[in-house]
Structure formats: structure tokens, C-alpha cells
Structure 1
Amino acid sequence: MPTASRALKFAFGSILVALAVMGLKFLAWALTGSVALYSDALESVVNLVSASVALWAVHYASRPADHNHPFGHHKAEYFSAVFVGVMIVVAALFIVREALAGLADPQPIDQPLLGMAINAGAAVVNAAWALTLIRFGRAERSPALVADGKHIMADVMTSVGVLVGLLLVLVTGLYAFDSILALIVGVNVLWEGWKVIAGSVGGLMDVAVDPAEAARIRAVIRDSAGGAIEVHDLKTRHAGPATFIEFHLVVDGDMTVTESHGICDRLEAALAREMPGARVTIHVEPAHKQKGEEGRALTLD
């Protein structure tokens, strides 16, 4: 299970970084009047909102199970991730709108080198923080932090595109490049938002673990279920940092409750070691409940 206090610190750190980057980007826009820089600054506002939502989600998801939520509050992070994805899409639409307006009426850019330098500094800060968030979020299985990191990385891509556009303006003297690059980046950010939404909806819909993880689970069961006959109806799903694993364990009908319970304890401990945060439910059944190959069962004897 992830360390809730560490996840909260990362989520709070995102708010501080978002505030700093937003200030730098609006400063760059104020100095230059660039449409692309203004679009980039608009996205940084969404970063701040998304970081705030991620902080709430991580805090809420860390709450223990209660009477009304017996399986815990882990899915709050998926709702947060969906919201972040929607915010990315909204930011992309704003960028596209501003880019189209800029194409219709190109304007000269003031102090482009200073604006580019400030925006580049903001991009470097964002990139470093985005990589940190994504790495930590994946290690701790926090959808909210991963989504926030991907959103910030999309913002970095926006900044890079903006800087390229401004560079082309300086080289060619064509102010339309400012808006053209903003339009291209806006479409790319829109695609990134869609990917974040799609991945988060999968978690809300209880999608099974990926094939590699499923293979690890089956291997642990096969190695740790000595004394049992068969495992069938294996079901898995992720809910934030928790992995729910459920299956039926077939044992000899003459086995005592204590003996079968000992096998279950051994399986639960092995799965917990292999997959921290695993929540295991095992249904013990007598031998006549075997399904064999037709039931896609895992034979153990």
C-alpha cells in the first residue's frame, strides 16, 4: 500500500509548483503579448485546478474502509483522474480557440527572447516535476498522481511547441507561426486529455489487471497452494493502490477446516508479498466442484 502521507506531500507539492509555473507563464505573456504564450499560460491555470483536485482525491482515497464503503475509498482517485482529463481537454479547446483567433489577426511580439527564456525556465521546472510525479504515482499505484503528472507533461509539450513557434517567428518574421504552433500543440494536448480519461474510466469499470500481472498472480498461486487440487474463477481488478484478487480453491472433501484455512493463509501471505496492497478473497470448495480444463481452471496437483 502507498504511504498516504508521502502521496499527500506530492499532491501538495503539485499545487506549489503549479502556482510558481503559472506566475512565470503569465509574466512571459505579459511581456510579449504572444498568443501562444497566452495559451500556454491558460493551461497552467488548469494545472493548478487539477493539482488541487488530485490533493483532495489522494486524501480521500487514503481513508480506511467504513460502514458505507467496506471496500475502501480507492476509486476516488479515478474520479479525480477523469476530472483532470476533462480539464486537459478544456485547456486544449481554449488553446485552439486562441490559436484560430491569432491566425485571423497576427500580431507582432514584444521582447520575444526574454519571454522565451522565462517560458523555458517554467518548462524545465514542469518537466522535472512531471517525471517525478509519474514515477512516484506508478510505483505507489496512485491514478490521481499519475494523471496529474501526465497533465503537467502535456503542459511541457505545449511549452516546447510554443518556444518552437516563437523561434520560427524570430527567424522568418512571420507572426502567423506563433498561432500555427499553438494550434498544433492544442490538438496534441486534446489527444493527451482523451488518453487520461480513457485510462481512468477503465479503472472505474473494474478492468482486470494486465496479462503480465495476471501471470504473476497465477504463478504465486501455483507455487503456494500445496495441498489444494484446483483454482478456478480467478477474477482481478485494480482500485487505486489496491489489487483485488478473488478465486475458488478446490480441496479434498475430507480436509478439515483448519487445514484448508492454512492453505488460504499461505496463499494470502504469498500474494501480499508479491503484490503489496493485494486484497484476496478465497472461496473454498470440495473436490466435486472441480471444473478442469473446460472451466479454464488452474490445476495444482
Structure 2
Amino acid sequence: MKRSTLWVAVASVGVGVVVLGLKTLAYLVTGSVALLSDALESIINVAASLAALAALHISAQPADTNHPYGHHKAEYISAVVEGVLVVLAAFTILREAYHGFLDPRLPDQPVKGMLLNGAATALNAVWCMVLLRVGRANRSPALIADGKHILTDVVTSLGVLAGFILVPITGWPQLDPLLAALVALNVLWTGWGLMRESVGGLMDAAPPPDVVARIRELVSTHAEGAIEAHDLRTRHAGRMTFVEFHLVVPGSMSVAAAHDICDRIERALETDMDDTEITIHVEPEGEAKHRGVVVL
């Protein structure tokens, strides 16, 4: 794992604390239920950033006797935890929105509240782009999940700010808790998406079709001297991609020559795709299935 990835996770905790402080202050100034819902979600952001930091630290540990394939799935666990926290935040916001709807009131000092919340939203918008860019570049489910969560926070904060403008204009105080309820539903949907994607990683889901197609292409191009490759299986575990397949070679080929072909394929995959673990099972031509990857 690149050291920059870990530092980004550390910085994410700091950014989350600053945003939480700004949004909490905005709620205290205005008494708005919608701003309270925004602040509650930011508490989850800080907790999720801490979980992502812990997961990245664990996943960076080298393979050991008890974990011969490494600790990469720790990032998926972090993303699942974050999804659960997001769902809990959504139900908490719905509860506050319900009580606010029963006893509605116009917010105090709306301009000051909008300025504080707007500053927090701008900071979140910049930071979520950083997290998504670094997470995708390093194939880090933990950072990507954190970035998506913060992006949701940005969208909901913009909705809250828009509603803040409408509340004093319309003079309808029920609009404030109604906005909070809409925030909660959006957060709930995001939490479900995070958990669904993370569970796929824990269940050894295959990489996207374009990645699988690229693997097949590289095997086909660099397996000169072999007959075919079949039973190709791939899976993702955090930033790692695991590839395994059977390589059929002529029965008269020496072990050394077959080994050279395997080395050539492995070098091609490792050069084209970072963090790849490859297992190749060599078989004689009598095991050919005449399907799978055709050697060019």
C-alpha cells in the first residue's frame, strides 16, 4: 500500500472533525432540525473515517501464517461497518424530523446558519473528490466508501441549504423537518448501496467484466508455446486481484520451458495490473478442453 493512502485516511479524520464542528455550530445558532440532521450525519462521517483508517492499517499488514492471502478484506469490513453506521444515522435523523414536525418552528439567524453550513459543505465537496480519486487510483474500497459517503453528505447539505432559503420565504416551519426526512431517506439509500458493494467483495465477487476481459487478452497474447488456458477464475480482495487458471502445454514440453511461459504471463499481468496474485496450474495437452482462452 502506498504511504500516501494512509495519510489521506488520517487527514480524512481531521477534515471530518472540522466539518462536524461547523455543522454543529450552525445547528446551535439556528435550532434547525434539518441542520441537526446534517450534523448527525457528520458524526457518522468521523466514525467512518476512523474505521477506514483502521482498516487500511490492517490491510497493509503482510501475509502471515494465519492469513496466507493477506489482510486485504479488512477494507471491505470497514465499508460494511460504514454502511451500517449510515443506516443508523438515517433512522436517528428520521426520529428528529418526526419530533420537529410535531413541534415546528422557524430557524433563528438563518443567514449565519447558512454561512457556517455552506463552509462545511464546500470543504466536504473538495475532500470527497480527493478521497474518490485516491481510492480509485489505489483500488481502496475503504477510501472509496468514505468518499461516496461524504459525497452524499454534500448533496444532502445542498438540499438543506436550498430549503433554508425557502423556509423564511414561505413562512412554513414544517418545511424544515420535511427536509430532514428527505436527507434521511437519501442517507438510507447510500448506506444500502455501500453494504451491497462491500458484501460482494467479502463474497469473492469477480472483478468488472472489462478487467476480466483484459486478463484474458494478456494471457492469450503472452502464452506463446502453450495450447490453451481454461478454468480462469478471478476475484478482488481490496486492492489485490487474484487470478488463477489452468495452462495446457504440449506433453513433450520440458518443465523449464513450461515454467518460462508461466513467468512470461505473470510478468505481463503484474506490469499491466498493480497488486496481482497469480496461480497457474500447468497440464499436458491431453487435458485440453478446447474452450476458455485461446493462445494467439
Q: Using the alignment, how far apart are the partners of 1:161 and 1:212 within structure 2?
A: 36
Deviates more, 1:88-97 or 1:278-287: 88-97
For this pair of structures, how many residues does the alignment match? Answer: 296
Match of 1:205 in 2: 203
Q: Cα offset for 1:152? A: 1.0
Instruction: Identify the match of residue 45 of structure 1 among 43, 46, 51.
Output: 43
Aligned mates of 1:112, 1:251 — CA distance in 2 = 74
Partner of 2:56: 58
CA distance in 2, matches of 1:104, 1:157: 26
Is the CA contact 2:140–2:239 (under 8 Å) kept in the aligned structure 1? Answer: yes
- Which of 246, 249, 256 does residue 248 from structure 1 map onto? 246
How far the C-alpha of 1:65 sits from its partner, in A, is 0.5
Candidates 74, 77, 80, aligned match of 1:76:
74
Q: Which stretches in structure 2 are left out of the alignment for 5+ residues?
A: none
Q: What is the CA distance between 1:66 and its match in structure 2?
A: 0.6
Cα distance in 2 for residues equivalent to 1:220 and 1:34: 57
Alpha-carbon separation, structure 2, partners of 1:6 and 1:254 = 49
Q: How does 1:24-39 map to 2 (within 5 A)?
A: 24-39=22-37
**What 5-or-longer segments of structure 1 have no aligned partner?**
none
User: What code does the residue aligned with 1:109 have?
Assistant: P
Whole-Å separation in 1 of the counterparts to 2:186 and 2:42: 16
Q: Give the structure 1 partner of residue 133 of structure 2.
A: 135
Task: Give 2:287's aligned residue.
Answer: 289
1:255, CA displacement in angstroms?
A: 0.5
The match for 2:11 is 13
Q: Normalised by the size of structure 1, how large is the TM-score?
A: 0.97
Conserved in 1, the CA contact under 8 Å of 2:38 and 2:156?
A: yes
Deviation for aligned residue 1:171: 1.2
Shift of 1:103: 1.1
Q: Which consecutive segments of 4 or more residues in structure 1 shift more than 4 A? A: none
Q: Note if 1:90 corresponds to 2:88.
A: yes
1:225 CA drift (Å): 0.3
Letter in 2 for 1:78: Y
Provide the rounded CA distance (Å) in 1 between the counterparts of 2:165 and 2:39: 18
Distance 1:34 1:181 in 2: 10
Cα deviation for residue 299 of structure 1 reads 2.1
Summarize deviations over 1:66-105 as a string: whole Å, max 9, x none: 1110000000000000001111111111111111111111
**1:108 Cα deviation from its structure 2 partner:** 2.1
SS in 1 for 2:278: strand
How far apart in 2 are the matches of 1:42 and 1:298?
Answer: 52
Aligned to 1:110, the other structure's residue is in SS state coil
| Counterpart residue number, 2:98 | 100
Q: Does 1:300 align with 2:283?
A: no
Distance 1:166 1:201 in 2: 37
- Structural mapping, 1:182-193, within 5 Å: 182-193=180-191
- Indicate if the aligned counterparts of 2:19 and 2:42 stay in contact, CA closer than 8 A: yes
The question of whether the paired residues in 2 share the 8 Å contact of 1:74 and 1:239 is answered with: yes
Are positions 1:117 and 2:106 aligned together? no
**Map of 2:156 onto structure 1:** 158
| 2-structure distance, mates of 1:298, 1:166 | 59
| Structure 2 CA distance for aligned equivalents of residues 193 and 157 of structure 1 | 14
Partner Cα distance (1:41, 1:168) in 2 = 20
Q: Distance in 2 between matches of 1:148 and 1:6?
A: 16
Identity of aligned residues (%): 53
TM-score for the superposition, normalised by structure 2: 0.98
Residue 263 (str. 1) matches residue 258 (str. 2): no
C-alpha RMSD of matched pairs (Å): 0.9
Offset at residue 274 of structure 1 (A): 1.1
Residues 202-226 of structure 1 show CA distances to partners (whole Å, capped at 9, x for unaligned) of 0000001111111100110111000
- Match of 2:124, SS state, is helix
